[in-house]
Structure 1
Amino acid sequence: MHVHAHPDDESSKGAASTARYVAEGAQVHVVTCTGGERGSILNPKMDRPDILENITEVRRQEMERARDILGITQHWLGFVDSGWPDGDPKPPLPEGCFGLVDLEEATEALVRIVREVRPHVMTTYDERGGYPHPDHIRCHEVSVAAFAAAGDPERFPDAGEPWQPLKLYYHHSFNRPRMQALHDAMLQHGLESPWEERLRDWKPEPEWDARITTRVRCDRWFGVRDQALLAHATQIDPDGFWFAIPRELQAEVWPHEDFELVTSHLPDHPDATVGQVTEDDLFAGLLDHPDRTGGKI
């Protein structure tokens, strides 16, 4: 189960791994916390009055297309997009948005889905939200709380039979070593890098990058990832930075997606070691577990 903040996040973070696991027979379920109602139109070709007037429905239709491309199932958690607070000082978040929702209320809603779907593995964002969007940070908080509560019969007793997922991961899609490697490869091939300006302002954080414990090879499914991204036409500019690096170069330089194992309830599964990549599979240790087998993420 991938828990994401907005429609399009499931396609921009971990989508190639998702496509690989679906191809291998796993059931992959996405929970989308908000409808993306306040998202900006990031594709100039879609910046039209008719789109803006119907943005909620448009984004739901985009999500349906991406869902079909990836081969996943999905729940909407049902909360309202907080938008990106812009300005200095930043304005308060709009009343009733996901970033301000009561943590217990949102956690119970997610626990109900976890107990219904019964995933063995959950993924979400790190404590920074991947980037500091209020919905991403709230998504992290809700996901971590739900992972801890779903198996506890005393928490949310009316939300279904308890079920404890066995592993919790954070996405580390946009890590600096990956961007640096892709940037360097573009320059070596005499191509313009879309990451030059970002890397210039990106302060190295070796300890943060060392948190990656799991690299899932998935380059065969980069094309599926890209098609899922393009399904979110209001958010993804086909002529923008998402597709500026040739897919063949990506596969050569960084053929995997990166995760951090945060919690494992597998008794015989070795703890993740800071600074070491110890896994190549989100299901590592599950197939040998006496009570559960891999099959759901």
Structure 2
Amino acid sequence: MAEPTLRLMAVHAHPDDESSKGAATMARYAAEGVEVLVVTCTGGERGDVLNPKLQNDPEVERDLPGLRRREMAAAAAALGVQQRWLGFVDSGLPEGDPLPPLPPGCFALEPLEHAAEALVRVVREFRPHVMTTYNEDGGYPHPDHIMCHKVSVAAFEAAGDAARYPTAGEPWEPLKLYYDHGFSRSRVRTVHEALLAQQQESPFAPWLERWSEDEPEREVTTRIECADYFGQRDRALLAHATQIDPDGFFFAVPRDLERSVWSVEEFELAQSRVPTEIPEDDLFAGVREAL
């Protein structure tokens, strides 16, 4: 009997988030035959151009939303994954003191029930066994990241309930929900110390200075070996040319050093409907056995 096809859904706030959070993990699973779908909640319409080489570029200024959609398609192709737009509008990142109000009609101001229904429809159609998203702080406090967390948790909990959103498709119950960890303190410290040991400059010194040793770290439950897929991750990052400077932060650590001292991506198991043992080295631990 053929093994069932596993399915992984990664829910992100903006185009480019998928390439900086868990990208090598997605590329690994896709290469191993898992169906992987990135759901992008907004179009990134209010994002700034973060690559200094493209600032004030007439083409970028003429159609940033369209350009970001094309960048997203190229990034998905680099990772070997599918991608779906959820259809909401970027909230922007309010700055100032006091903070200005969010713009009307943006994702962060959508009623949770409405936004969750849109994701429930995609969950019931794609039928993922595992979902990943951000923790309750959004990974960092962007209003769209925090809303992405709320919507993802609500959809994970509602998608299998036939009484919830009865017109949004046949119920499907995902089995595990994870928060991706990006730059954990352990990762930052390990890479920082390895750079200093080789007498190289570290981009992480200011991070470590800001962090208090008394501040507890979030639990990492799951580490995925994925160094062989760092190249695909980097190509996906570079596809987001308006957001990623090829000479910038994401490429400041030599890849051979990164592979030798930090070959994993980290996740935090938030909910599981199948038995599993912590720590894990597979997002589908417990799922494979259940199927």
1:54 aligns with 2:55: no
The residue aligned with 2:40 is: 32
Deviation at 1:206, TM superposition (A): 5.7
- Runs of 4+ in structure 1 deviating by more than 6 angstroms, as ranges, are none
1:269-280 equivalences in 2 (<5 Å): 269-270=276-277, 272=278, 278-280=279-281
Distance 1:19 1:204 in 2: 34
1:19-98 equivalences in 2 (<5 Å): 19-47=27-55, 48-98=57-107
Deviation at 1:205, TM superposition (A): 5.6
Deviations 1:57-108 (A, max 9, x none): 0000000000111111111000000111111111111111011111000000
Deviations 1:128-172 (A, max 9, x none): 000000000000000000000000000000000000000000011
Deviation at 1:5, TM superposition (A): 0.1
Deviation at 1:177, TM superposition (A): 1.0
TM normalised by structure 2 equals 0.95
1:171-182 equivalences in 2 (<5 Å): 171-182=180-191
Alignment counterpart, residue 126 of structure 1, candidates 116, 132, 135: 135
Gaps of 5+ in 1: 273-277, 293-297
Q: 46-55 or 91-100: which moved more?
A: 46-55
Alignment counterpart, residue 225 of structure 2, candidates 212, 217, 225: 217
TM normalised by structure 1 equals 0.93
The residue aligned with 2:243 is: 235
1:208 aligns with 2:209: no
The residue aligned with 1:156 is: 165
Relative to structure 1, the CA distance from residue 218 to residue 206 in structure 2 (aligned partners, 3 Å threshold; closer, same or farther) is farther
Distance 2:42 2:135 in 1: 18
The residue aligned with 2:24 is: 16
Q: Secondary structure at the match of 1:59?
A: helix
The residue aligned with 1:295 is: none
Distance 2:209 2:240 in 1: 29
Distance 1:205 1:145 in 2: 32
1:262 aligns with 2:274: no
Q: Secondary structure at the match of 1:215?
A: strand
Q: Secondary structure at the match of 2:85?
A: strand
Cα RMSD (Å):
1.0
1:2 aligns with 2:10: yes
Distance 1:170 1:190 in 2: 34
Q: Secondary structure at the match of 2:288?
A: coil
Alignment counterpart, residue 169 of structure 1, candidates 161, 178, 194: 178
Deviations 1:181-210 (A, max 9, x none): 11111111111111111221122366333x
Deviations 1:224-243 (A, max 9, x none): 10010000000000000100
The percentage of aligned residue pairs carrying the same residue is 61
Distance 1:187 1:82 in 2: 39
Relative to structure 1, the CA distance from residue 205 to residue 131 in structure 2 (aligned partners, 3 Å threshold; closer, same or farther) is farther
Q: Secondary structure at the match of 2:53?
A: helix
